[in-house]
């Protein structure tokens, strides 16, 4: 079993798409081991995305991620990291496969509805950034 970290981003929560995205997560065989709705401030968003701090899109990304609430999840499944990335689709919704969350729901490259860890080391940083061990069941 493997765990990954997911976010339903502000653009999707604002448009009341959380239920549809959670339905796809469960229908794809993931077990939700942690989930909560939170509102990030800009510093918290920047800490989460610190690997991108030198990128030109960093400031806009932090503004976007802190503008309204998000739903953070810890998901468990065999091959959870790769399978959640596949279900989300490519970062740019214009390049995402049909039937993926980003292809079906994303607004733009920035406002792309979902986040997923991209490697085991990333998941190991991201899950405890948001969840204590007691919150994972
Ligand atoms: N992003 C952006 N412009 C870009 C690349 C990324 O606004 O040119 C945003 C987008 O919201 C993306 C996030 O920054 O999801 C993190 O980028 P990353 O390359 O890690 O993509 P992801 O892992 O989310 O697919
Ligand atoms: Mg990434």
Q: What is the pLDDT of residue 103?
A: 98
Q: What is the pLDDT of residue 24?
A: 98
Closest ligand (CA of 55): 1
- 122-135 residue pLDDT tens: 999 999 999 999 99
Q: Which residue do the tokens 């997911």 mark? A: 6
User: How far, in Å, CA of 99 to CA of 65, rounded?
Assistant: 24
Which residue of 5, 10, 57 sits with most ligand 1 atoms within 8 Å of its CB, as the best mutation to test the pocket?
A: 57
- 14-72 residue pLDDT tens: 999 999 999 999 999 999 999 999 999 999 999 999 999 999 999 999 999 999 999 99
Show the tokens assigned to 32: 């939700």
Q: What is the pLDDT of residue 119?
A: 98
pTM over 0.85: yes
* Burial 36-70, CB ≥16 within 10 A → b, else e: eeeebeeebbbebbeeeeeeeebeebbebbbbebb
Catalytic positions: 115
Nearest atom within ligand 1 for CA of residue 115: 24
Ligand 2 centroid distance, CA of 132 (Å): 22
90 close to 70: Cβ distance less than 8 angstroms: no
Strand partners, 128: none
Q: What is the pLDDT of residue 25?
A: 99
pLDDT band at 105 (very low <50, low <70, confident <90, very high): very high
User: How far, in Å, CA of 63 to CA of 22, rounded?
Assistant: 24
Ligand 1 centroid distance, CA of 85 (Å): 13
Cβ 118 under 6 angstroms from ligand 1: yes
Closest ligand (CA of 56): 1
Q: Which residue do the tokens 């969350």 mark? A: 101
Mean pLDDT of 60-89: 98
Q: What is the pLDDT of residue 113?
A: 99
């Amino acid at each position: 079993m493997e765990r990954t970290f997911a976010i339903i981003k502000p653009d999707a929560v604002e448009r009341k798409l959380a239920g549809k995205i959670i339905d796809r997560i469960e229908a794809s065989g993931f077990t939700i081991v942690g989930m909560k709705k939170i509102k990030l401030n800009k510093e918290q968003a920047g800490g989460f995305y610190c690997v991108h701090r030198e990128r030109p899109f960093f400031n806009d990304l932090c503004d976007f991620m802190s503008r309204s609430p998000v739903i953070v999840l810890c998901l468990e499944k065999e091959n959870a990291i790769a399978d959640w990335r596949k279900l989300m689709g490519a970062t740019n919704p214009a390049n995402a496969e049909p039937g993926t969350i980003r292809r079906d729901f994303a607004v733009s490259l920035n406002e792309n509805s979902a986040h997923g860890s991209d490697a085991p080391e990333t998941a190991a940083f991201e899950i405890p950034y948001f969840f204590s061990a007691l919150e994972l069941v």
